[in-house]
Structure 1
Amino acid sequence: MSKEHDMHAMPASWTGTEQIGMLMYPGMTALDFVGPQHMLAGLMGAKVHHIAKTMSAVVSDTQLAFVPTVTLDQVPRDLDILFVPGGGDGTLAAMRDAQILAFLADRGRRAKWVSSVCTGSLLLGAAGLLKGYQATTHWATHALLTEVGATPVNARVVRDRNRITGAGVSAGLDLGLTIAGMLRDPAYAQTMQLLAEYAPEPPYSAGTPLSAPPEVTMMVAEMFKDFNPQIRTALASKGFNETASKGPQP
């Protein structure tokens, strides 16, 4: 590493003062939260808030329990980054929770950056934060982005103005590194990547529908046969079917 980026003589630009709010809710996908949290917590000088409705432990979809640091009412009103993880039934429940949607709409309107991973983008959309923006989500729910007035883009990380969304689960690591590179510099993000030894060489080439065997893709798609209609119903109850048909808003 060059002298200017030596960890013992770090440039002033490597330390910030960001206020980062990461929403947690029961049934969220653990890796959706942990991947980005690992990277965002590595931003020197930043303060990461783990947000939940109460201070009780939040249990993820794989039964990992997470401890909040603040409640919805306690988190700073003006955040530099608002982040939302995805999930399955937990995301659907959060989408039906008026308190969570009101919180996202409120903080999202003022945040410098609004971000998500996986189906977390559908929560952002349900809060009215993706109308007129390009976005991504888990491949199996990609088409649902149009329901909230967003334009689906097939990519690991999609940035449109101050909205940054990540694809399914593991894309959270990419999203975290992308944000680190934006808020610091590429060398900082590369340092974080090397420290994490993030150099994926998966034992199978089945990470997308394009590379997975057709029968595997069909099996996974089948897992969403009930979830997607429920998401559409939840959005329709909030009038999204009508607004989405009018196209993206400025």
Structure 2
Amino acid sequence: MLAQIVLFDGFDPLDVIAPYEVLYAGGVASGGAVSVELVSAEGPREVVSGTGGLALRATAALDPGRAGLVLVPGASGRVGEPGEVPGHDAGAGSCQRDASIPVLLGRTLTTELPALLTAATENPEVTVCAVCGGSLVLAMAGLLEGRHATTHHRGMDLLDATGVHAVNARVVDDGDLVTGAGVTSGLDLGLYLLEREVGPRIAHAVEELFAHERRGTVWRAEGPEPARP
């Protein structure tokens, strides 16, 4: 199983690194059943995050035609309202550090990423995943209407506004769409994906390796509706 983790300008490093390490360790534990690649819409390049100018290298272009997982992270940067980006002429790293998270997420819509993600959602052999604000990228691209998803608690209203059934859960499994809430949920999302796609024994081995116990119940649209008080 190939997991393509998407990098875009201003991405949140923990949204990328947490699931990357979990899935990579799952590949080692399973004898190569999982492989992980950092990709971007533009192809191989250095991509600057929204945290202190930290950069990671995308080694390939996002390919929605390849079976497996496509995982979209959120953004990190100045927390505030959308608007003009201070220091825009001071270089890409400075620009991303100064931009607010909504601006950084919104910029993804001006790239080739929405078209590539659309193709990924249309591929029956791909499960699209997101951590934190990555759900908002998908929602703003019009790809989550009528679906169940979660995101960081500050973005739940925006999910609702785009026609998504926002669920206040750590991880939400909606079939070929699996989403995680705040940034550290990338660990839980990665472990759940290992359990779902490779098996619980592999997931448990990685959980032990990282000394991290998953939090909360993975929400699915199954079972009886709970009674309202």
TM-score, normalised via structure 2 length: 0.74
**Aligned partner letter, 2:38:** H
Amino acid at match of 1:91: L
Segments of structure 2 that go 5 or more residues without pairing to the other structure are: 76-100, 215-229
Out of 20, 26, 51, the residue aligned to residue 43 of structure 1 is 26
Supply the RMSD in Å over aligned alpha carbons. Answer: 1.7
Between structure 1 and structure 2, the one with the greater Rg is: 1
Question: Residue deviations 1:123-172, cap 9 Å, x none?
Answer: 11223321221110000110111232210100110111221100010011
> Structure 1 CA distance, aligned partners of 2:142 and 2:122?
9
Q: Which letter maps to 2:137?
A: L
Query: Paired residue for 1:133?
Result: 147
Of 63, 68, 71, the match for 1:80: 68
Alignment of 1:189-228 (within 5 A): 189-199=203-213
1:14-29 matches, cutoff 5 A: 18-29=1-12
Which residue does 1:221 correspond to in 2? none
TM-score normalised by structure 1 residue count: 0.68
Could you tell me which amino acid in structure 1 is paired with residue 140 of structure 2? A
Write out aligned runs for 1:37-76 (5 A): 37-44=20-27, 45=32, 46-52=34-40, 53-62=42-51, 63-72=53-62, 75=63
1: CA distance, partners of 2:202 / 2:7: 27
Give, as a single letter, the amino acid of the residue that structure 1 aligns with 2:24: A
Q: Which 5+ residue runs of structure 1 have no aligned equivalent?
A: 1-17, 201-250
Deviation string for 1:191-221 (max 9, x for gaps)? 1011111159xxxxxxxxxxxxxxxxxxxxx
Alpha-carbon separation, structure 2, partners of 1:43 and 1:191: 8
CA contact (8 A) 2:71 2:128 kept: yes
| Secondary structure of 1:43 counterpart | helix
Correspondent of 1:167 among 167, 177, 181? 181
Q: Which residue of 1 aligns with 2:98?
A: none
For 1:197, the aligned partner's letter is A
Aligned residue runs from structure 1 range 179-198, under 5 A? 179-198=193-212
Number of positions where the alignment pairs a residue of Structure 1 with one of Structure 2: 180
Q: Give me the identity figure in percent.
A: 34
Question: What SS class does the counterpart of residue 173 from structure 1 fall into?
Answer: helix
Letter in 1 for 2:144: L
Greater per-residue strand proportion: 2
